[in-house]
C-alpha cells in the first residue's frame, strides 16, 4: 500500500520537525544551566 504525500504534508512534517528540534534545544540549554547552577551552589555551601 502506497501513501501519496503531497507538498502540504511535507511542509507540515518539516514544521513539526523544526518545532521539535527547537523545543529540545531550548530544553537542553535550560537543563544545562540548571545543572551548572546547582553544581555552583553545592561548591558554594561546601
Query: Where do the domains of the chain lie?
Result: 1-46
Q: Which residue has the cell 553545592?
A: 42
pLDDT score recorded for residue 46: 64
pLDDT score recorded for residue 5: 66
pLDDT score recorded for residue 30: 92
| Residue 31 burial class via C-beta count within 10 angstroms: exposed 0-12, middle 13-18, buried 19 and up | exposed
pLDDT score recorded for residue 42: 79
Give the pTM.
0.49
pLDDT score recorded for residue 26: 92
1-35 pLDDT, tens digit per residue, is 566 667 888 899 999 999 999 999 999 999 999 88
Give the DSSP H or E segment for 45. helix 7-45
CA atoms of 23 and 31, how far apart (whole Å): 12
Amino acid at each position: 500500500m502506497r501513501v501519496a504525500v503531497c507538498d502540504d504534508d511535507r511542509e507540515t512534517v518539516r514544521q513539526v520537525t523544526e518545532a521539535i528540534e527547537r523545543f529540545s534545544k531550548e530544553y537542553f540549554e535550560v537543563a544545562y544551566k540548571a545543572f551548572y547552577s546547582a553544581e555552583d551552589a553545592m561548591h558554594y555551601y561546601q
